[in-house]
Every structure is written in structure tokens, then in C-alpha cells.
Structure 1
Amino acid sequence: MKTTLKEIYVLLALMLVIFSSSTTSTTGKSDTPPKVIVAYVTSGSSIMPDPAYMTHINYAFGHVNDSFNGVRIDNPDRLKQIVSLKRKKPSLKVLLSIGGWGSGRFSEMAATAKNREQFAEECRQIVNEFNLDGIDLDWEYPTSSAANISSSPDDTDNFTLLMKDIRGAIGKEKLLTLASAASAKYIDFKAIDPYVDFVNIMAYDMATAPKHLSALYPSEHSGRLTSDEAVKRHLAAGCPKHKLVLGMPFYGRGEKNKIPDFIDYKEIEKLTGFTTLWDERGQVPYLVDSIGQLVCGFENPRSLTIKCQYVKDQGLLGAMYWEYNCDNEAGDLRKAVYETIMH
């Protein structure tokens, strides 16, 4: 029997399918971890987030308690409401984020083995009580008192011990993440790597007007740091790229005499009397006043799409944003993030 050219093509196609199947893991899944989209959702908002556009929610915030050995949660009822979203989307992961700018008592808590162990045990109890998927630590920052909190030169080492204790308490099946300064300072990333699932880079507030708060690349209007530089610094510090999540702001930083220092994207859209320009080098938009001065740096769907494509091109784990309530009612920002990261 003669073999036709068509039959040869069919045979080659079948061989290609078989070969492709053999390159996946024995579990049938790709070796590449699925991308994540982490949305910070705050305790003070009454808006319920739409879980369709995220994979993880970090609930902000919990705090170290006054006795340095446990956790105090802002608005626990709101946290329960957020967890209830898992009924709508069972794959959604909800974590309690402990800390935030100006949230103190970390240094005292982490300084002794007894306090760390009690704190870690309370993290475990909270995870179980609220049916959480893990804990996110947002200590801003070990060894630094910039936020008017106590600090110690031993904080970095104690942070590593704290992460080890929390991991031991909550177990391997739960998530343990952290928020990291764009500079990649304050934390020994190589030391914490065995305990941490991923790192959320706070690649915003890197400057204020008349500079960009979150430029992707350097430009005449960027600050000392950019998102690209923040990623490079974390890689250099020993954080593997498959554990890096790039943070993005859903707000702007304004020139205080003309625009609020912190302003939600939904409010930026309503501003009048300013012109929106695009920084081709920095890959971000900005507002200028009548004399052409940069008075507000921010993100829009265009810049977030570019940033999220950068995340994919660099092989990072995903994107994070602060915070959900800053988006407009149509969800233009969260949709831009989701469409780019997940497709």
C-alpha cells in the first residue's frame, strides 16, 4: 500500500502531540506555575470585590497586638464577608495581611522566641477560624523606623526566624507571602526562601510629583527607582523570579498644592483643568498643569497592560495591586491586569 503525503502529515502531527505531552510533568500539569493576581482589599471599604478578576485577595490589615505576641484584626466581620466570596469562586485564595505603613510592634514581637512562637500560633488559629488560605506579612520595614515604629539592627535576622515559625505553625499547605520594599532592602531573601511562597514587590511610591510614583523604566520624570529596577534588585538579592509578584498602584501621587498627595484613579478621571500626557520612556501617563509641570503621576489601562506584559516577558509569577477600591466603577484597571496576565 502506498503512503500518501497527507497520511505522512497526519503521522507527523500525532508524533508532535505525543512529544508535547511528554514534556509536561507526570501529574499532567505544566512545570510553569500558574500566574497570580493579588488584590489588596481594605477593612475600611464597604465595596465587595468582584473575584472574577483576581486569584488572591490580601485583606488589609491585621496588626501585632499590644502585648507583642498575637494579632489584632481590623473589622473582622468584613474579613468574613471577603472569605464568603470563595463560595462564588472556590479557587479564590484569601490571606490576612498583617502590618502596613505605620503598623508597629513587629520588632518587639520578633525579638524573642516566645513572642514569635505565640504570634505564629495565633496566625494558625486565625487561618483556621476564618477559613483563610494563608498569611501575608507587611512589616514596613525591618531595621527601619521611617514609619515611626520601633526597630532594631537584629530585625532582619529576626524576620527570617519569624517566617520560619509562621511556616511551621500554619503548615506547608497554607500560603505565606510578604510585601517587600521596591529597594529590596531590609530582608534576607535567600534565608527566607524555604518558607515563602511568593514576594509582592511594592513598586510604587518610588517618588512623588513632580516625578512618577511607579515608572516602569527610567526617564526624566522617573524617581530614583523604577519597577524594572525593583525587579532587578530583588533578583540580585536572591529572590527567584518565579516567586516575584510585581506591585502596581491603582492611585496617583499629586502635587499637594494642586492635587491630593494620594488620589484614587477613579478620582483622577474626574479632574478638570489638567492635560494627560504619556511618558514614552517611563511607559506611564501623567497630568500636567497649564505651564506643563507634572502634577500627578498615575497608572491607566495602557500602562498596566504594558507592565503586565513585562511580568510575562520576564517570567515573573504575577501582578499585585493596591488597592481594589481605587479603581473606577467599570473596573478598567483590574480588567486590564486580568486580561493581560491571564491571556
Structure 2
Amino acid sequence: MSNFFGPTLPPPTNWLTQPRAPADRRNSITEPNIKLYVNAVYYPNWHVYKRRPPSSLNPGLVSHIFYAFAWVKLDGTVYLSDEWADTQIGVDGTHGCLRSLALLKQKNKYLKLILSVGGGGVGSQHFAEVAAKPAARETFGRTARDLVDRFHLDGLDIDWEHPSDPQQGVNYIFLLDAVRRYLPAPTYILTSALPAGTWALKNINLSVAHHFLDYINLMAYDFSGPWIDTYGHHAQLYSPAFPHSDAAYLSGDSAVTYLRTVGVPLSKIILGIPTFGRSFLGVDGTTGKYSGHGGEEGTFEYKDLPRPGAQEHVNREVGAAFCIGGDGGFVSYDNPTTVTMKATYVTRNGLGGLFFWTGTADASHPRSLVETAFKTLHNC
């Protein structure tokens, strides 16, 4: 296992001898029905254009809402990526999705609202340069604090996808240090979304990084997709006994095991669940090759699964659902059965909870993944 996961980087001496970050803790949620575990959702600001306002979320089932995304400029300035959606559009009786979320919190005092900075593609394009410069890191922390305070939010989520070499991993920790000074615990929550692949995680000294963070949002999905030439489950909880590709070695459990091995407290790990499926058309069951993808960019939202004419299955060995047939071919995703498995995994192993990308792609009762997670986590 050590050869597969690879070596970890030694922590810089000053971080060991002069820690600035808080000790391990869980946020105290006083609402009786929320109890202890995090059950969080991401809300992407562009979903308001799909007629999915913040009010479409079910706040009675979630503890944290991550608002995606703010972006960062080359000088380190954190800014709102879509001012119209974020602060101006008429929605839910107010102006802007951020104010709409504030209204949700007024009615649900236990809710924690967190601004997520970064995301895939353009959202993360300047992180490496910003994290490498002390002045830019200070600007990042100061402007992030300004936005959090301006909209009465509870904290920040850093979604740098992702430090790609050991030096960027060191700079990532410098960035966390700067942000934590501007957003001190316990007043503010600081989280970071990280990939589940050790090819990315090994670039960060997580035994040091976790001290600055309340939670690590482990993106335990996108294991298989159009970037590889064989089909597979994209969010499996366990690796199969006989993996047919390098991607098949990845799993939620393998990532959690790695984090635990390098010293991250299990209570700080939030296991990510996708509310979308990945499609593989023309699958050759002998070679594992496929000919294309269905859906928008090869994906279908969970609320649209299983596809018409397709039959749904669950592989309980690996903890993955899939459907075969219709316009999606082979589609890998999570369903209530696999979410129950993952929520049970969280409670049995003492993880911090679950999060979903995204809250607005979920289905309604009785197939709701967010509802299934909440009931399983809290035994209700």
C-alpha cells in the first residue's frame, strides 16, 4: 500500500514548532435534528439561470451550503465570478443568490454558509501563481474576508484543482496559513476541496495542512470519464478485487485510507458524493473500451437517472450504481442504496460527514440522495 500511495513530504520546521491553526474540532450545530454529522451541498451560482434558485434546496436536510464559485485574480484578489447571479438578479424575493441564501439562514439558524473559491478550469487558473507570492497570499486572505463579512457568511472553501507538484503543495499550505490568519477559528470555518487521487494528494503535506482546516471536502468521484479510454464506475466506495484499469484502483475508501495514513483526523474528512452520472456509449465488455458519451459533456444529472429504457443495477461489492440501456449506454452514478452504504461508512469510521455536488441536481423523495444521507447519518 505504501508503494501505491507514494511518499509524503516532510513538513517545514517552522510549521511544526509554531503552529498557528486550531486543534481538531467539529462545528457545533445546535438544531436538534441536525445533530453531529455534516450533510452539505454545493450550490453553483449558474443554476439560478436553470430556474433552480437557492430556495429549491431543502435546508431541513443540510448543515452546510457551499456557494460556488468566487474566483481569484493574479494579484490575489478574490472576487465574485458572476455579479448578476450573485448580487443582482431578482430571486426568492430579494436580489442575488447570496442574499437569497441569507434569507434561508434567517429561517434555519443552524445553517452554515460558505463561499467556495476556485473550481475547475478558469476558476483555478491563477491559484499556483497567487500561492507562490507572499503579497498575493495576503491579498487573497484580506479580500476573501471582505466578501465573507459583506454577505454574512460563515467561512471559506478553497477549491484549488489542484496543486500539481510538491512546490505548489508547499505554497498551498502557505496560502492556508495566510487565509486562516484573516479568518480565525472558531469564528470562521475554513475548508478545502481536494481530489481523491493520490497522484494529487501526495503533492501536499496533509499532516500539516489539516491543522489549518476544519474539514477536507474529499471529491470522491470522477474516477473514470472521457480522459481515460476504458469505462468504469466514477464514484465507487471500494476498489474491485480485480481492477481492470488504473482508474478502477481509485475509491472513496482508498482516499480516506491515504488521508488517515498521513495523519489527517477522520473527523475532518467529508466524503463527496456526485449528483450526476458519467456515460459511456458503445461499451465493449471484453476490452472495456467505449465509443462515446451520452448527455451534456458525457454526464446526466442524477434527477434524470436511470435513463428511459435503461435498467438500474447496484454493485454492492464496490458501492456503485449504474444503468444500462437507453441513450446513455453504461451510466455510473450513486443512488439511495449506495448513498446508504457511504453514509454508513461515515458513521462506522468516524468521518465528519458527506457533501453533494450539487444540491439542485438531486431527485425528490423517495430517491433523494441528500434525504437518504441525512436519515442514515442521523438514524432517523
Indicate the TM-score class for this superposition, using the shorter chain for normalisation: 0.7 to 0.9
The separation in 1 between residues aligned to 2:318 and 2:211, in whole angstroms, is: 35
Give the counterpart of 1:175 among 189, 211, 226.
189
Give the counterpart of 1:248 among 242, 250, 273.
273
- Assess if the C-alpha contact under 8 Å between 1:210 and 1:294 holds in 2: no
* Residues 1:307 and 2:342 aligned together: yes
Structure 2 gaps, min length 5: 1-27, 87-95, 282-291
Give the counterpart of 2:175 among 147, 162, 168.
162
* Residues 1:99 and 2:136 aligned together: no
Structure 1 gaps, min length 5: 1-26, 145-152
Number of the residue aligned with 1:81: 100
- Assess if the C-alpha contact under 8 Å between 1:141 and 1:186 holds in 2: no
1:318 Cα offset (Å): 0.5
- Assess if the C-alpha contact under 8 Å between 1:259 and 1:295 holds in 2: no
Amino acid at match of 2:177: K
Amino acid at match of 1:295: F
Q: TM-score, normalised by structure 1?
A: 0.83
Number of the residue aligned with 1:233: 258
- Sort the Cα spacing of 1:294 and 1:238 in 2 relative to 1 into closer, same or farther, 3 A: farther
- Sort the Cα spacing of 1:282 and 1:294 in 2 relative to 1 into closer, same or farther, 3 A: farther
Give the counterpart of 1:206 among 223, 239, 244.
223
Summarize the alignment of residues 27-38 of structure 1 with structure 2, pairs less than 5 Å apart.
34-38=36-40
Number of the residue aligned with 2:136: 115
Number of the residue aligned with 2:308: 272
The separation in 1 between residues aligned to 2:323 and 2:231, in whole angstroms, is: 10
The separation in 1 between residues aligned to 2:78 and 2:66, in whole angstroms, is: 19
Deviation per residue, 1:237-291 (Å, 9 max, x gap): 221111111111111000154632111011113x22322222131122211239x
* Residues 1:45 and 2:62 aligned together: no
1:158 Cα offset (Å): 1.0
1:143 Cα offset (Å): 2.2
Give the counterpart of 1:324 among 359, 362, 366.
359
RMSD between aligned alpha carbons?
2.2
| Identical-pair percentage | 29
- Quick check: which has more Rg, 1 or 2? 1
Amino acid at match of 1:176: L
The worse-fitting range, judged by mean Cα deviation, of 57-66 and 180-189 is: 180-189
- Assess if the C-alpha contact under 8 Å between 2:157 and 2:192 holds in 1: yes
The separation in 1 between residues aligned to 2:192 and 2:218, in whole angstroms, is: 9
- Assess if the C-alpha contact under 8 Å between 1:65 and 1:105 holds in 2: yes
Number of the residue aligned with 1:336: 372
1:182 Cα offset (Å): 0.2
Higher relative contact order (CA 8 A, sep 6+): 2
Summarize the alignment of residues 251-262 of structure 1 with structure 2, pairs less than 5 Å apart.
251-256=276-281, 257=292, 259-260=294-295, 261-262=298-299
Number of the residue aligned with 1:193: 210
1:297 Cα offset (Å): 0.6
- Assess if the C-alpha contact under 8 Å between 1:211 and 1:294 holds in 2: no
- Assess if the C-alpha contact under 8 Å between 2:37 and 2:352 holds in 1: yes
The secondary structure found in structure 2 opposite 1:286 is strand
Runs of 4 or more off by more than 6 Å in structure 1? none
Q: TM-score, normalised by structure 2?
A: 0.75
- Assess if the C-alpha contact under 8 Å between 1:107 and 1:155 holds in 2: yes
Deviation per residue, 1:294-332 (Å, 9 max, x gap): 711111111101110000001111111111111124461
- Assess if the C-alpha contact under 8 Å between 2:159 and 2:192 holds in 1: yes
The separation in 2 between residues aligned to 1:106 and 1:71, in whole angstroms, is: 13
